[in-house]
């Protein structure tokens, strides 16, 4: 299943953006093998395999990478792979003996994907950081939030948008090229770089004078009254975005607004007054009542749903946007392919049986696998 069926990816266990990238590749059909650390004894055999959607659709194996035989086993897995994903600080994989040089020596066609916050080079390369720091340096954080303070947009922009998705794109692009050249390469995916790239449209608008470099003072950052969120009578929120003239006309008609000031929306001097008027108007009805009036029309409207609410919305239900694996509700794979659909999400597969299958696929004999078990190099997850 999936357009990447037949591709094999080695994922070095990490947190955040690396497993999300691996999840995307696995959803698209790649055989992702996750090399994990030894699990604490209290967790062995007790973890719910469906509890972490980021680890779905992969086979997991735990190797002691402090042991030379563990490194040798990992290199044999790498030799049969199309790509590798790692998310450690620069130099960690080299110290393990699994840096690009030995891995590409074992497999010259390997695409070696490296995920870091600041990149493999530069004065901050060895510094610790998190999403908020990476997007702060890119200009993205400055543009998001209230006028008096930036507001971190979860960790979507740096970790997952600027990191995971950029690395997934880079891996697929490099695998396409390797299929023609027969040569692998190293991908330096920095979340700070990716976050900067996501800001390309806004740098363009600043350059042509259509964007003010201050928060809540532009069309798309909550400055414009017709693009934002409003509280309803029951405390819920709705979102509106009737930017185009025909959508704005429909909005005014359905809202029964005939105040002439609303025809002056292009004049920023009117924005505070229009905001206040819309705030009062939306407080007149509950969120459900506004949905009854506006949802499904061309006014560019949607209720602001909580994480627990979103999966039950009729649109998501009709498209099966969310699925339940075990007892865990999670987003379904995206995007959708007409001929090679993505894999149906399955819990991570682990344990010695899975490890034996992974190693057998890589050419290990039964006696070699037994030796790894006896030495403690191959361990339970």
The 3-state DSSP class for residue 125 equals coil
The 3-state DSSP class for residue 332 equals coil
Among residues 221, 21, 229, which one has the least CA distance to residue 140?
221
CA distance 234 to 4: 47
Indicate if 159 belongs to the active site: yes
335: preceding bond cis by omega (within 30 degrees):
yes
Per annotation, catalytic residue among 67, 130, 270, 316? 130
Q: Which residues contact 340 (CB under 8 A, 6 or more apart)?
A: 1, 2, 3, 5, 29
CA distance 334 to 24: 8
Indicate if 313 belongs to the active site: no
How many Å separate Cα 297 from the centre of its chain?
Answer: 30
How many Å separate Cα 41 from the centre of its chain?
Answer: 31
- CA distances (Å), origin 210, targets 125, 148, 207, 221, 223: 34, 21, 8, 13, 13
Torsion angle in degrees (nearest 10) through CA of 160, 153, 239, 304: 80
Among residues 361, 354, 371, which one has the least CA distance to residue 60?
354
CA distance 133 to 128: 9
Do 76 and 364 meet the contact criterion of CB atoms below 8 Å apart?
A: yes
Q: What are phi and psi of 35, to 5 degrees?
A: -90, 110
Per annotation, catalytic residue among 27, 64, 159, 193? 159
How many Å separate Cα 64 from the centre of its chain?
Answer: 29
Do 2 and 342 meet the contact criterion of CB atoms below 8 Å apart?
A: yes
How many Å separate Cα 299 from the centre of its chain?
Answer: 29
Active-site positions read 130, 159
């Amino acid at each position: 299943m999936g357009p990447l069926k037949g591709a094999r990816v080695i994922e070095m266990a990490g947190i955040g953006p690396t497993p999300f990238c691996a999840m995307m590749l696995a959803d698209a059909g790649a055989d992702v093998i996750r090399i994990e650390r030894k699990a604490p004894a209290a967790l062995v055999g007790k973890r719910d395999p469906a509890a972490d959607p980021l680890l779905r659709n992969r086979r997991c194996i735990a190797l002691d990478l402090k042991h030379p035989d563990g490194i040798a086993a990992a290199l044999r897995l790498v030799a049969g792979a199309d790509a590798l994903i790692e998310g450690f600080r620069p130099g960690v994989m080299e110290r393990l003996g699994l840096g690009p040089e030995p891995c590409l020596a074992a497999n010259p066609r390997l695409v070696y994907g490296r995920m870091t916050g600041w990149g493999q080079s530069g004065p901050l390369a060895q510094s610790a950081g998190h999403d908020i720091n990476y997007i702060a340096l890119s200009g993205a954080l400055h543009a998001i939030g209230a006028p008096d303070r930036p507001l971190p947009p979860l960790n979507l922009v740096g970790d997952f948008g600027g990191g995971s998705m950029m690395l997934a794109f880079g891996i697929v692009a490099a695998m396409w090229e390797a299929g023609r050249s027969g040569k692998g390469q190293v991908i330096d995916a920095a979340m700070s770089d990716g976050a900067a790239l996501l800001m390309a449209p806004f740098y363009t608008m600043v350059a042509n004078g259509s964007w003010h470099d201050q928060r809540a003072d532009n069309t798309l950052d909550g400055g414009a009254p017709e693009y934002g969120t409003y509280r309803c009578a029951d405390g819920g929120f709705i979102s509106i975005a009737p930017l185009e003239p025909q959508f704005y006309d429909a909005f005014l008609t359905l809202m029964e607004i005939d105040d002439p000031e609303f025809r002056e929306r292009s004049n920023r001097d009117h924005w505070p007054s229009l905001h206040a008027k819309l705030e009062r108007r939306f407080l007149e009805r509950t969120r459900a009542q506004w949905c009854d009036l506006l949802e499904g029309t061309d006014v560019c409207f949607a209720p602001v749903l909580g994480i627990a609410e979103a999966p039950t919305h009729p649109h998501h239900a009709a498209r099966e946007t969310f699925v339940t694996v075990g007892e865990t509700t999670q987003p379904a794979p995206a995007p959708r392919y007409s001929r090679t659909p993505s894999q149906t999400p399955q819990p991570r597969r682990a344990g010695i049986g899975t490890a034996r299958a992974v190693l057998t696929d890589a050419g290990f004999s039964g006696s070699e696998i037994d030796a790894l078990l006896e030495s403690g190099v191959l361990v339970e997850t």
